[in-house]
Amino acid sequence: MYIDYHTHHERCGHASGTLTDIVEKAIKKGLDQIGLSDHSPLFMEPEDHANPGMTMAKSEFPSYVEEMVSIREKYKDRIDIRLGVESDYVEGWEEHYSAIYERYPLDYIIGSVHYFDGFHVYDPRRWDRSGIDVNEEYKKYFTLVQKAARSGMFDILGHIDAIKGLNYKPDQNQTMLMKETADCIAGNDVVVELNTSGLRKCREIFPSTEMLSLLHSRGVQFTFGSDAHSPEELGYGWEETVKVLKSIGVKEVATFKQRKKQMISLNSPLAVDSF
């Protein structure tokens, strides 16, 4: 199998291409299964479109799901399409978000920590503040990842160490924090994605090799997401990711249908010979 579960399109305002463009490119690239998972609206904000250029408007979400359903039917004989969303984890808004998602026929939900302390995780202004403590920022971030895992909202956790994305490194050892996070994820049976956008941002897959090993040793299961923001980025780093997973003994990756996990083997020739 050749899959990609983390993709974005023009609705979010910072990606290119339509949902149809993504599906057509997935077919051309030989994907067996494609997940559509654009950024959710900021449901915690009072405005309909609180942050144009980062997420879709609240009023667009029903049409987003409707279009995904229509495209899945149109292409059902050509490619397996799964319907998803990348949702922000916002502490205190768990029930509100979950109640919204329950109205729609989603196959999976990716939970990602994008915002904390008033900044997006990839906003360089976070690190420009006077007296910023990199170690403390890492602790805050991973504490929220742990809370996302405990929330029960998500099937998949997205880019779980994205805090490293702008290459600000802590000067204290983070192993205990990573172990605590891995224990939490394992204890709540959440799948972790290998997100290859890290290769573009900081030359390392999300999560790091150390974190990946900690997760695997605890029985955590994985899936793949390129975090594509254009059709051309679909499947980015798939072959490298498969090799990394196999090197630590992972034999299967997770897929989802109607919020239920389905494991598929990495031993199929298609898994490594897709390009």
**Cα–Cα distance between 231 and 5 in angstroms, integer?**
13
Question: What pLDDT is attached to residue 256?
Answer: 98
Give the domains, in start order, of the chain with CATH numbers: 3-267 (3.20.20.140)
Phi-psi region of 113 (alpha: psi -120 to 50; beta: other; left: phi over 0): beta
Question: What pLDDT is attached to residue 152?
Answer: 97
Mean pLDDT, contiguous 10-residue spans, the chain (275 residues): 96 97 98 97 96 96 98 98 98 98 98 96 96 96 98 98 96 96 98 97 95 98 98 96 95 97 81 40
Global pTM value: 0.95
Residue whose tokens read 């249908």:
257
Question: What pLDDT is attached to residue 103?
Answer: 98
Question: What pLDDT is attached to residue 268?
Answer: 63
